[in-house]
């Protein structure tokens, strides 16, 4: 498994960009300038970055309330994302959706859902639409391990396989549904085996290897685009912060810092960064910081929504 220098630089930029954006969000959050809850994807950036590197601009992604990494990796505007968190009129949903409902028509990011499991059937419907249009566009649908316990998840996979829809399902398995460990929820941990019973090709990446994910996702997307039907990836990662909020939570009794050590020691941002040219890395790091501060200034300067926005978008025009 080997990637070109260009690929390594793109992957590093995506990982570092998302990590620094969310670290900056974590710094701002206690000031109360951010008006919505935040579910940070620190530690889970790799899946979105790896998959989206293979997607075209007109391909579609669908994510959950922990969707910052996916939104940014697909090309969503950072300025619109931060303005949305601030509850401002220039936000992705004009300040009315917040962190959990990021959306971008321009980047083909379907509106994220805060209800566990509900984005999966929506993404499946989008894939059905693409197939009916006869295009070679694909959908990438992301969810967490907890969402796989919802009936809509299995119903969607069965339908997608039956209709050979152009969709890649990605489960970011961080082993917890809020605070409940996987061991108390699953009778077995053989999720890929369960998915395969629907006739869907399934892949397990159990070591948070972003380059392995990049290779497997690229091959899967190529097959899907060629009409091969849906595929599935279970990607193991680790949520480094609270379920919701900017802090660590190892003092809350449901997990401890020791189990995070192997994930911290194998942090993909540092790993990929060590594989690229040091000067190129320094330039990218500086560019990222400049983009973040520009977006923060944009969000702070944006106006709040006008009063008439209260009733806009409630019904279709």
Looking up residue 21, the CATH number of its domain turns out to be 3.40.50.970
Name the residue range of residue 108's domain: 5-301
Spatial distance between the Cα atoms of 307 and 23, rounded to a whole number of angstroms: 32
φ, ψ at 180 (rounded to 5°): -95, 120
Q: Residue 115: how many CB atoms within 10 A of its CB?
A: 12
Q: Report the candidate in 263, 92, 108, 94 with the shortest Cα–Cα distance to residue 176.
A: 263
What end-to-end distance do the CA atoms of the chain give, in Å?
Answer: 51
Strand partners, 181: 176
C-alpha–C-alpha distance, residues 176 and 193, integer Å:
20
Lowest mean pLDDT among 41-50, 189-198, 307-316: 307-316
Contacts of 206 (CB under 8 A, 6+ apart): 236
Q: Is 262 helix (H, G, I), strand (E, B) or coil?
A: helix
Q: Does some domain include residue 306?
A: no
Could you identify the residue written with the tokens 């989206």?
A: 52
Spatial separation of the C-alpha atoms in residues 195 and 198, rounded to whole Å:
6
CA 118 centroid distance within chain:
15
What is the reported pLDDT for 1? 57
Q: For residue 78, what pLDDT is reported?
A: 98
Mean pLDDT to the nearest integer, 244-268: 92
- Residue 17, C-beta contacts closer than 8 angstroms, at least 6 positions apart: 72, 288, 291
Is residue 307 situated within a structural domain?
no
| 270 confidence band (pLDDT: 50, 70, 90) | very high
The pTM score is: 0.96
For residue 309, being part of any structural domain is answered with: no
pLDDT tens track for 138-183: 999 999 999 999 999 999 999 999 999 999 999 999 999 999 999 9
Q: Are 150 and 71 in contact (CB under 8 A)?
A: no
C-alpha R_g of the chain: 19
**Do the domain assignments include residue 22?**
yes
pLDDT at 167: 98
Give, as one character, the DSSP assignment of residue 94.
T
Q: Could you give the number of structural domains in the chain? A: 1
Query: Is residue 107 situated within a structural domain?
Result: yes
pLDDT value of residue 226: 98
Q: What is the maximum span of the chain, computed from C-alpha positions, in angstroms?
A: 55
> Is residue 34 very low, low, confident or very high in pLDDT (cuts 50, 70, 90)?
very high
Taking 80 as the threshold, does the pLDDT of residue 244 lie above it? yes
């Amino acid at each position: 498994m080997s990637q070109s220098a260009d690929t390594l630089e793109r992957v590093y930029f995506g990982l570092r960009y998302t990590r620094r954006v969310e670290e900056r969000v974590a710094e701002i959050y206690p000031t109360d300038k951010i008006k919505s809850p935040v579910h940070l994807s620190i530690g889970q950036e790799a899946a979105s970055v790896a998959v989206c590197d293979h997607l075209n601009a007109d391909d579609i992604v669908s994510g959950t309330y922990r969707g910052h990494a996916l939104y940014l990796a697909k090309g969503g505007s950072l300025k619109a994302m931060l303005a949305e968190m601030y509850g401002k009129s220039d936000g992705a949903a004009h300040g009315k959706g917040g962190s959990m409902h990021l959306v971008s028509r321009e980047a083909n990011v379907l509106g994220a859902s805060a209800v566990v499991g509900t984005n999966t059937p929506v993404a499946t419907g989008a894939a059905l639409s693409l197939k009916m249009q006869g295009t070679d566009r694909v959908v990438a649908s992301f969810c967490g391990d907890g969402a796989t316990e919802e009936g809509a998840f299995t119903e969607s996979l069965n339908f997608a396989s039956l209709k050979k829809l152009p969709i890649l399902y990605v489960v970011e398995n961080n082993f917890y549904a809020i605070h409940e460990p996987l061991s108390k929820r699953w009778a077995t941990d053989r999720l890929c085996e369960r998915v395969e019973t629907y006739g869907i090709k399934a892949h397990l990446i159990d070591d948070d290897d972003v380059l392995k994910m990049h290779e497997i996702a690229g091959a899967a997307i190529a097959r899907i685009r060629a009409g091969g039907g849906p595929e599935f990836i279970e990607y193991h990662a680790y949520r480094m912060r609270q379920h919701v909020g900017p802090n660590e939570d190892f003092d809350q009794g449901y997990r401890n810092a020791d189990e995070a050590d192997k994930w911290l020691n194998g942090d993909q941002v540092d790993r990929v960064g060590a594989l690229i040219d040091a000067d190129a890395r320094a330039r990218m790091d500086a560019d990222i910081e400049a983009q973040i501060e520009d977006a923060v200034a944009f969000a702070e300067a944006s106006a709040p929504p006008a009063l008439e926005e209260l009733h806009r978008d409630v019904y279709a025009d």
